[in-house]
Amino acid sequence: MPTGIYVRKNAVWDRLKAGMAADHATDFARWLRERRYTPLTIVERMRLLASWTHWARGEGHTLAAIREAYAASFALIETGHRPCFRGDVNKDAVETIKLFIAYLEERGVVTRLPAKPAAPLVAEFAAWAREQCGLAETTLATYLGTITPFVDALGDIPTAYDAVTIRAYMIERAKAVSVARMKGISVGIRAFLRFLIATGRCPPGLDYALPNVAGWRLASIPRFLPDADIARIIGACDGERRLRDRAIILLLVRLGLRASEVARLGFDDIDWRQGSIRLWGKGRREELLPLTQEIGDALLAYIERGRPALATPTLFITEYAPLRPIDRMTVKCLVKRALKRGGVESHYKGAHILRHSAATAMLRHGVSLPDVSTVLRHRSQAMTAHYAKVDIALLSAIAQPWPGRSPC
């Protein structure tokens, strides 16, 4: 495929031929095209590549030291450098070089750097959490994001941990994050301390040294959207261009799936004959949910007319290059865009608001608490009863007699 299709100005082509991308420009454009980048995007990427390689040539950098050149350009942008003209190096050009380096690694032009290994103690916790606790990878990744800074601050010798140092770390950490974030940090570190206790590295009870984060379980009113808003969100996903979005939204609002569960859904998880969807919930629990006609039709429409051809068992994949299975952040962003298109005003714009809405909708339409608990896969019906707060009639069904004396 000729590079001229994607390089529309002689000045851009002259810069590419004179810089470190001279021998790779044509193949890089083909590489981008293979990954389903649109022609207009490739044109812009080639222009940005030319800008960056022109800057690198002026600074005396070579292809063999492209990573050092990338680090230098990144540092330049971080210091507040502003482009003086259209072809000057800028933030987007620096981001394009990350793609170019990935291309060079795949082609074997530069050596792929090994991933930075986790600290041995953290790596051992990750293996233990997978094998003994059955943590999902998304949950484990969240835990590791809180545990790694903890080990960096306190060291990797657990015998040196005590209540004073742990509490001091948590109090200092609380100064820079929100209450909600602090609760997440506390959960991750508590799991890590329990791992150390279980493996004999710390004395029993050290996990109680963590200070409690202010909060009252199930004290708030559940966040949810009314039926009219749900209908507008679904309607905002009509049309051939949004077959994937419609299927995902229906899984969220009808069955209350979590974003990570939608992202992990594979072809093998859909049993068309039995009309069921298999999920791997928290703790690797295998659970079945009904495949309704509405959801089944939406999934078939996406598979037959909307899903790009990609050899992967994962059901939902990205729409734009590079094509790959979606993750939970993709689902979150998809919901946010659907809310905006539907004109739905909501302070909460993530995928979990639709799970809450599914729960409250089922309760308000007469589904029993045990049945809702089964669909949502709650371990305790107390969690499901939380959603009954949106309906006074339902509250009366679960209210318990006052244990004290009647008033005089």
Active-site residues, by number, are 258, 282, 352, 355, 378, 387
CB-count exposure of residue 86 (10 Å: 0-12, 13-18, 19+): exposed
**Phi and psi at residue 49, to the nearest 5°:** -60, -40
245, 298 Cβ separation under 8 angstroms: no
Q: What is the DSSP letter of 129?
A: I
Largest CA distance in the chain: 94
**Phi and psi at residue 320, to the nearest 5°:** -120, 160
Cβ atoms within 10 A of the Cβ of 92, count?
15
Burial 379-403 (b: 16+ CB within 10 A, else e): eeeeebbbbbbbeeebeeeeeeeee
Phi-psi region of 289 (alpha: psi -120 to 50; beta: other; left: phi over 0): beta
Q: Would you call the peptide bond into 322 cis, given omega within 30 degrees of 0 as the criterion?
A: yes
Non-local (6+) Cβ contacts of 165 within 8 A are 154
